[in-house]
Amino acid sequence: MDSLQFLAEAATPADFAAARTQMAFTLGFHIILASIGIGLPAITLLAEWRSLRTGDPVYRELARRWMKAAGVLFAVGAVSGTVLSFEMGTLWPGFMDTYGQVFGTAFALEGIAFFIEAVFMGVYLYGWDRLSPVAHFVTGIPVVIAGLLSATFVVTVNSWMNQPRGFRLVDGEVTDVDPLAAMFNPATPVQAVHLLLASLMVCGFVVASVYAVALLRDRRAGRDDRYHRLGFAIPFTLGAVCAPLQVLVGDWAVRFVADNQPIKFAAMEGVEHTQAGVPFKFAVFEIPNALSLLLRFDAGATLRGLDSFPADVHPPAEVVRFAFEIMIVIGMALLALAAWWAFAWWRRRESLPWHPWFLRAAATAGVLAAIAMEAGWTVTEVGRQPWIVYGVMRTEEAVNPSEGLRFGLYVVLAVYAVLGAATISVLRRMRRPAPAERKELAG
């Protein structure tokens, strides 16, 4: 590790900060695309399945347009994902050179899943009106499965960074590599489930928010557009189903962090001092003994605070705490919105809640869900600092010592601004049926 330490000392603070900023920005950009890319094929198949069951052309049209949008996002996500893979080597060569052999299998499997997803997405998009309805539906199933697997394989790498397994470090050299042990480390189950549910929930609420805005416009214009109502109901129901499940999985994740990364937990919950009967704090509110009770089912349980760890391994606690609170607040708001939807359906059955205030809340749900996703990744990544591999390699030991990383950051910001604007422009053009089709679909 001496050579890596030398490289880290050669990196200027400005370049180190630029490398971290660039990685954070590109990851934040990609994770939203990836989340929608995971969920959109799933809701597409739900719509096509309803089309097969009912023969309703509206479901079929929704499926066609959603998968076209998924194709656009898949292409953009392929670009942003490729950039991330290059950044791993160009920004963090110390990390890749030392540990690439440990987690490389997961990236290879992700590449295979990505290839399968690309092939079947092409078949699905080309197969409209060329395959039988059932055969066409079947070609979409591998797209969904491969997307879920691709995300899972990538998550195993991040979970390994949080709970490194499957190797021994002898005199700075990695030996006895076990790729399967690295992939199936203790953090993989909870992180994989947490991410996949979050992705489905984010996609559901983001897509539904587009149709919520359209429904509000319909109300002002005195229209009742069934295309928009069904376009809202399918993805919103997916998000609403995932919301309570995500709360349960989130509780599992917090308990796992408390047991395996106690310093991250202390930063998340704002526990500064080790003590018994730790209160639960949120903003200006405080409930005595509640955090100990929630975590250990014992109001007098002792929890470790930040003061029990050396100062040089403390994460930026304020950032972690703020991101964690944002995630919790938004999660509870989305859960309440899901409960509103479920209660209205239970009371009225066929008459779902189209009240303007509900639609206004639903219109904001997409943005809020995306913010919660970003906040969750902030907790995961910033909470692990100063380690790039928890307890094994510091982030500063992995950074590229070359000068000029700031220039790369500026280029990436400019390119991604253009890419993001172009993507939004294309999706806006695809969001509604052509005028000639609307007379047939509305009703």
The string of pLDDT tens digits covering residues 381-408 is 999 999 999 988 898 888 888 777 788 8
Q: Which residue has the higher pLDDT, 242 or 88?
A: 242
Query: Does residue 353 register a pLDDT over 70?
Result: no
Question: How would residue 98 be classed by pLDDT, with cut points 50, 70 and 90?
Answer: confident
Question: How would residue 9 be classed by pLDDT, with cut points 50, 70 and 90?
Answer: low
Q: Which two tokens stand for residue 213?
A: 């805005």
- pLDDT tens track for 40-65: 999 999 999 999 888 888 888 898 88
In a domain? residue 299: no
Judge contact between 176 and 136, C-beta under 8 A: no
In a domain? residue 298: no
Average pLDDT over every residue of 359-369: 92
Element (H, E) at 280: strand 280-282
Average pLDDT over every residue of 76-81: 84
Query: Does residue 214 register a pLDDT over 90?
Result: no
In a domain? residue 305: no
Query: Does residue 443 register a pLDDT over 50?
Result: no
Q: Which residues contact 21 (CB under 8 A, 6 or more apart)?
A: 409
In a domain? residue 121: yes
In a domain? residue 112: yes
The crossing angle, in degrees rounded to 10, of helices 405-430 and 13-54 is 20
What is the domain extent for residue 386? 2-261+315-435
Query: Does residue 8 register a pLDDT over 60?
Result: no
In a domain? residue 367: yes
**pLDDT for the residue numbered 221:** 60
In a domain? residue 275: no
**pLDDT for the residue numbered 431:** 64
Strand partners, 174: 169
State the DSSP code for 278.
P
Query: Does residue 72 register a pLDDT over 80?
Result: yes
Strand partners, 170: 173
How many structural domains compose the chain?
1
The whole-chain average pLDDT of the chain stands at: 86
**pLDDT for the residue numbered 349:** 56
Average pLDDT over every residue of 330-345: 89
Query: Does residue 11 register a pLDDT over 80?
Result: no
Global pTM reads 0.88
Average pLDDT over every residue of 21-45: 89
Give phi and psi for 275, each to the nearest 5: -160, 165
In a domain? residue 97: yes
Question: How would residue 71 be classed by pLDDT, with cut points 50, 70 and 90?
Answer: confident
- pLDDT tens track for 295-330: 888 888 888 989 999 999 999 999 999 999 999 999
Q: Which residue has the higher pLDDT, 269 or 6?
A: 269
Query: Does residue 5 register a pLDDT over 70?
Result: no
